[in-house]
Structure 1
Amino acid sequence: MYRHILIPVALDHETLVDRKLEIARHLLAEDGQITLLTVLENIPGFVSEFVDLKIDNHLTQKVEDRLKAAAGSDVRINCKVVTGKPGVQIAAYADTERVDLILVGSHHPSAQDYFLGSTASRVVRRAGCSVFVVRDGDC
């Protein structure tokens, strides 16, 4: 059983959170915790010149509220939003917070993913802990 499970939540795959939480609850130690984490990519400098909205002020809070709604009343679930490159930040967060399992979703790869690499494959390569990859079709 795992004491701290990290579930990265991509905004475009939010519908998969319930299935990932179901899996995580089966793998969680009795006194364990689950963290739902969304990584927001930084806005490039050339774009930020034209945007009045500060990402930390609006979007971060909205995303955190959506994560909390997905967590419901389960006190074992924490919600966190960070910025950066998802494949890097997920592994870094797991290392810093002593996560012992990352439960990440992945779609069936296409040729483009083999050349560019998906977030899931980046997490698998960088993580210092175990990674459980759940296919979209399995969720």
Structure 2
Amino acid sequence: MYSHILIPVALDHETLIAQKMEVARHLLSDDGKITLLTVLENIPGFVSEFVDLDIDNHLTQKVEAKLRQATGDDDQIGCMVVTGKPGVQIALFAEDNGVDLIVVGSHHPSAQDYFLGSTASRVVRRAGCSVFVVRD
């Protein structure tokens, strides 16, 4: 059993959240905890020149609220939002927060995935803990 399970959530792949949470609950120790994590990518500098960026745009709070909604308001599940590159930040978050299992979702691979790589494959390569891949 695992004591701290991390579930990365890509907001464009919401359909996998319930399936990943079911796997996590099955593998969680009695006194363990689950954390949902979304990584927001930084806006490139060349784009920010043309967009009026308001630091207080509350995007992080909106994403956290969406994650909280996905948990069914379960207070035992933490929700976090960080910025950066998902494949890197997920592994760093796991290392910095004592995560012993990451449950990632992945679609069935296509030729494009073999050349470009997916977030799931980057997490598998970088994580210092076990990674469980859930297929859709």
Quickly name the TM-score band, shorter chain normalised. over 0.9
Query: In 1, Cα distance between the equivalents of 2:65 and 2:55?
Result: 15
1:117 CA displacement:
0.6
For structure 2, which runs of at least 5 residues remain unmatched after alignment?
none
- Aligned partner of 1:119 in structure 2 is 119
- Aligned partner of 2:41 in structure 1 is 41
For structure 1, which runs of at least 5 residues remain unmatched after alignment?
none
**Matched residue count:** 136
- Aligned partner of 1:26 in structure 2 is 26
- Could you list the per-position Cα deviations for residues 18-73 of structure 1 after superposition, in whole angstroms to 9, with x for gaps in the alignment? 11111111110011000000000000001012222336632211111000111123
Query: Using a 3 Å threshold, how does the CA distance of structure 1 residues 55 and 6 change in structure 2: closer, same or farther?
Result: farther
Give TM-score scaled by structure 2 length: 0.95
- Aligned partner of 1:95 in structure 2 is 95
After superposing on structure 2, the runs of 4+ consecutive aligned residues of structure 1 that deviate more than 4 Å are none
Query: In 2, Cα distance between the equivalents of 1:29 and 1:57?
Result: 38
Query: In 2, Cα distance between the equivalents of 1:55 and 1:36?
Result: 23
**What does 1:1-139 correspond to in 2, within 5 Å?**
1-54=1-54, 57-136=57-136
Query: In 2, Cα distance between the equivalents of 1:83 and 1:16?
Result: 21
Query: In 2, Cα distance between the equivalents of 1:7 and 1:107?
Result: 16
